[in-house]
Structure 1
Amino acid sequence: MTTTNLPVWDSCETWSRDRITAHQTDRLATQLQRLGRDSAFYRKRFEEVGFDPRGFRSPEDLRALPFTKKTDYVGSVADSPPWGEFLAVPRETVARVHFSSGTTAAPVPQFWTARDLERWADLYARYAHAQGIGPGDIFQCLFTYTWFVGGLGATAGFQRLGATVIPAGSQETERQIRTIAAFGTTVLCGTPSFMVHLGAVAREMGYDPAASTVRAIIVGGEPGGAVPATRRRIEELWGARCCDAYGSLEFQPIGFDCPAQTGPHLAEDFAYAEIVDAVTGEPVEDGTPGVLVLTHLDKEAGPLVRWWTGDVLCRDSRPCACGRTHARLIGGVRGRADDMLVVRGINLFPSAVEEVVRSTAGLTDEYRIVVDSTVRNPDTGLLDAIRLQVEPLSAADAARVAAELAAAVKDRLRVRAVVETVPAGSLPRAQHKAKRLVVEP
Structure 2
Amino acid sequence: MSAALDQTGSAGHWSPVESWSRDELESYQLERLREQLGRLARSPGHYGDLFGRMGFEPEEIRELSDITALPFTHKADYVASVAAAPPHGRFVSVPMSEVRRIHFSSGTTAKPTPQFWTQRDLDRWADLYARTAHAQGVEPGDVFQCLFTYTWFVGGLGATLGYQRAGATCIPAGSQDTARQISTIFEYGTTVLCGTPSFIVHLGEEIEKRGLSPATSKVRAIMVGGEPGASVPATRKRIQDLWDARCYDFYGCLEFQPIAGECEAQSGPHIAEDFVCAEIVDPDTKAPVPDGTPGVLVVTHLDKQAGPLVRWWTGDIVVRDRSRCGCGRTHARLVGGVHGRADDMLIVRGVNVFPSAVEDVVRAIPGLGDEYQIVVDRSVRDDATGFLKGIRLRVEGSDPALPARLAEAIKQRLSIRAEIELLPPGSLERTTHKAKRLVRADD
Q: TM-score, normalised by structure 1?
A: 0.79
**One-letter identity of the residue aligned with 1:309:** T
Q: Which residue of 2 aligns with 1:346?
A: none
Q: Do residues 31 (structure 1) and 51 (structure 2) align?
A: no
- Residue number in structure 1 paired with 2:394: 374
The verdict on how the C-alpha distance between 1:94 and 1:418 changes in structure 2, with shifts beyond 3 A counting, is closer
C-alpha distance in 1 between matches for 2:436 and 2:329: 41
Amino acid at match of 1:57: R
Please state if 1:99 is matched with 2:111: no
Aligned pair count reads: 370
**Structure 2 residue 355 is the aligned partner of structure 1 residue 335:** no
Note closer, same or farther for the CA distance 1:123–1:376 as it changes in structure 2 (3 Å cut).
farther
1:124: which partner in 2? 129
Matched, 1:236 2:232: no
1-side partners of 2:117 and 2:395: how far apart? 37
- Residue pair 2:226, 2:434 contacting (<8 A) in 1 also: no
Assess if the C-alpha contact under 8 Å between 2:3 and 2:15 holds in 1. no
Q: Which position in structure 2 is the counterpart of 1:287?
A: 292
Partner AA of 1:11 in structure 2: P
The one-letter amino acid of 2:83's match is A
| Whole-angstrom distance in 2 between the partners of 1:317 and 1:39 | 36
| Aligned equivalents of 1:124, 1:42: Cα separation in 2 | 28
Decide whether aligned partners of structure 1 residues 51 and 131 sit closer, same or farther in structure 2, where only a CA change above 3 A counts.
same
Match for residue 261 of structure 1?
Answer: 266
58-67 vs 7-16, which deviates more?
58-67
Show the counterpart of 1:224. Answer: 229
8 Å Cα contact 1:278/1:290 also seen in 2:
yes
Cα displacement string for residues 340-399 of structure 1 (whole angstroms, at most 9, x for unaligned residues): 9999xxxxxx9xxxxxxxxxxxxxxxxxxx9843268999x9xxxxxxxxxxxxxxxxxx
How far apart in 2 are the matches of 1:254 and 1:83?
A: 23
Match of 2:157 in 1: 152
Offset from partner CA, 1:142-177 (integer Å, 9 cap, x none):
000001101000000011111100000001111100
Distance verdict in 2 for CA 1:417–1:194, change over 3 Å:
closer
Shift of 1:52: 1.3
1:278 to 260, 283, 291: 283
The yes-or-no answer on 1:72 pairing with 2:77 is yes
Q: In the alignment, is residue 320 of structure 1 matched against residue 325 of structure 2?
A: yes
Q: Does 1:175 align with 2:199?
A: no
| Cα drift, residue 3 of structure 1 | 4.0
The alpha-carbon deviation at position 39 of structure 1 amounts to: 4.3
Q: Does 1:249 align with 2:269?
A: no
Q: What is the aligned partner in structure 2 of residue 134 from structure 1?
A: 139
Aligned residue runs from structure 1 range 385-404, under 5 A:
none
- Structure 2: gaps (5+ residues): 346-353, 357-374, 376-389, 407-430
Distance 1:437 1:293, change over 3 A: farther
Q: Which residue of 2 aligns with 1:55?
A: 60
Q: Which residue pairs with 2:12 in the alignment?
A: 7
Write out aligned runs for 1:180-199 (5 A).
Answer: 180-199=185-204
* Equivalent residue letter for 2:263: C
Give the drift of 1:48.
2.8
The Cα of 1:58 is off from its aligned counterpart by 1.6
What is the rounded CA distance, in whole Å, between the counterparts of 1:160 and 1:62 in structure 2? 34
- Aligned identity (percent) is 61
Contact 2:252 2:260 in 1 (8 A): yes
Task: Render the CA deviation track for 1:317-337: whole Å, top value 9, x for unaligned.
Answer: 111111000000000001111
Deviates more, 1:294-303 or 1:197-206: 197-206
TM-score using structure 2 length:
0.78
Q: Is the 8 A contact 1:39 1:87 kept in 2?
A: no
Q: Distance in 2 between matches of 1:417 and 1:318?
A: 32
